[in-house]
Amino acid sequence: MQFYHEFTDRSKTHSTGNIITVFEQSRTKSSQDIISYEALVRSYPYPLSPNQNTIEPNGAVTHGTISEHYLQTRCKRVSVREAQHIHPSLFTVLEDWEVIEAQQLEQKKKASLLLLGSLLVSIALLLAFLLLHQRRRHSSQ
């Protein structure tokens, strides 16, 4: 994850008071050579106009996509600490996502263990059958 401080202007002097969280591994390139990323972005329409005054600092976020061009022209990369200071509500969302991901991982682990247990039982039954079959062959000879 990378954090970008968002500005209303290309000179990057008027902050929106919001952070864009970019999932860098989600980089895609369109047929028009536009590079974009999955991201957590503020819940307002894009792009911003320089005189737009309806931006709520530390606002609500939603999952979306963001172009690399927008990040380069309207944003400045910042550290986690700076991002937490500028947009604390974003980190509540990130923490919630981490809890959900941890729960999903735990469910996958449980499902894998159940599958492994079933496989081990099947192997044990097969071995018991083979052993029984071998004993019957020896006793009939």
Average pLDDT value over all residues in the chain: 87
All residues at 6 or more sequence positions from 3 whose CB lies less than 8 Å from its CB, including other chains: 19, 20, 21, 22, 77, 78, 79, 80, 82, 83
What pLDDT does 46 receive?
54
Q: What is the pLDDT of residues 6-18, one digit of tens each?
A: 998 899 999 999 9
Residue 68 phi/psi, 5-degree rounding, is: -60, -35
Q: Which two tokens stand for residue 138?
A: 């020896």
What pLDDT does 18 receive?
93
How much is the average pLDDT of 51-62? 75
**Cα–Cα distance measured from residue 5 to residue 87, given in angstroms and rounded to the nearest whole number:** 9
Q: What is the pLDDT of residues 91-109, one digit of tens each?
A: 888 887 766 566 777 888 8
Q: What is the pLDDT of residues 28-42, one digit of tens each?
A: 999 999 999 999 988
DSSP 14: S
What pLDDT does 91 receive?
87
What pLDDT does 12 receive?
95
Q: What is the pLDDT of residues 60-84, one digit of tens each?
A: 888 899 999 999 999 999 999 999 9
What pLDDT does 35 receive?
97
What pLDDT does 32 receive?
93
Would you say the C-alpha torsion 117, 118, 123, 125 has a positive or negative sign?
Answer: positive
What does the CA dihedral 46, 6, 12, 3 come to, rounded to 10 degrees? Answer: -140
